[in-house]
Structure 1
Amino acid sequence: MRQIVLDTETTGLEPEQGHRVIEIGCVELENRELTGRHYHVYINPEREVEDSAVEVHGITNEFLADKPVFRDVADDFLAFIRGAELVIHNAPFDVGFMDHEFSLLNAGYPLTREICGVTDSLVLARKKHPGQKNNLDVLCRRYGIDNSNRELHGALLDAEILAMVYLAMTGGQTALSLDEAGAGQAGGSEIERLSADRQPLPVLEASEEEVKCHREFLDRMAEKTQVVWDQRLNS
């Protein structure tokens, strides 16, 4: 199963108020293992970034001035996520912004849920830990995941961290490390299915001498206490 763990950063909180996506970060999972493939881009939003948003992610208007606009990256982004299950923390926020960006292009782009499955890891966390805080920092502490590099929000870093949190939260898989390039390899292993046509396992019977020794051992135990195994053997 192909999954894409995704995060975005934006100019503000409401696409209905004209806010735009300024960063997209994605990492790919295949059968619950990081493949090393990722998608990452900064985007010129063609508007100002709110000061309150800059305080969260540190991405300034000056930094974004020479970055591509969304229409220039839309097709590559769409090709990367198409057909995958997206794993997103607070999915309605990111999906809402993605759909808003596609709608602005007026080119017949589909809604995200028409081409991808969507799993909201925040909903999963709330079901698993009801009545508790379930933001990404809290989940990292809960599952023992190192997020010491996360001084500011960043789409690619947050996607990498969320991948580790998601694997730990959904399957007890916590031994996952990232290499210098930001890719990683999960420490869990796949279940190995045995073929129905395999040779039967040999059954080794106890020898007469082994049965005699076991009998003598049970007799010695019976001198001190009731021996349940002895009752079962004679039943």
Structure 2
Amino acid sequence: TNHTISVKAWRLPKNASRKDVREALVEMRKVLIEKCVVLCNKENVRLLLDEARNLAMLSTPPYGWMFYDPGDELKKLFFKYSDIVCNFTVITLLPYNDSFNSKGHSRLDFALAHDALRLVTKSYRLVQRGAEEAGINVTDETIRNEMSRAILNNMERGLTGMLEFNSLGHRRNFSLTITAVTGSDTYTRGHWLGLDTAHGTRLKLYKEKHHGNRSSSFPLRGRTAKVVMIEER
């Protein structure tokens, strides 16, 4: 096209203050940033959403926000903004709004630990069963080698998707779920696949849904309005 695409980045401290977040957002608005990719911890995202709302940077058009949230930890933060016709896109490793119980732990850490233990336990039992059926005693080294082989040949599915590995031991054949959040409504927007499909693409997008007839309450009802003025020079 004849349009130039520019990318700008703002870095927040790990424990950002409300002032840090607000200053970054004001700078973004000054240079007309409308599409934002957010790679922040949960607390920084909470502050960012709150300040973006105060600065009228959540409503569509023109603003759009994309969040990388592998453990599906952010969905509760979005409930506060269900009265806004927003444009959020969330990329998760775990299915969005999955109901599994992480027992108070980080959902991503819990899911990864669960899958690792499941994979190791299954592989060990497989090796032990094979040795018993063959009537042989195996050494610790043999068990390690056979378990490595069993893991590389594994086709098990866990909480984080297919537990397949390549010859280097790297995870493959997993998928990321892309979910659209439009205020109180959510729908699956697509998937990013760890392996190429038969059509040679890893990104699979579904039809976008528009709510042209949707009505919502006035977003400032019951709230204190803040008026922000930018002096043109």
Higher helix share: 1
User: Could you say which structure has the larger radius of gyration?
Assistant: 1
> TM (normalized to structure 1)?
0.27
Considering Cα pairs closer than 8 Å and 6+ residues apart, tell me whether 1 or 2 has the greater RCO: 1
Q: Taking structure 2 as the reference length, what is the TM-score of the superposition?
A: 0.27
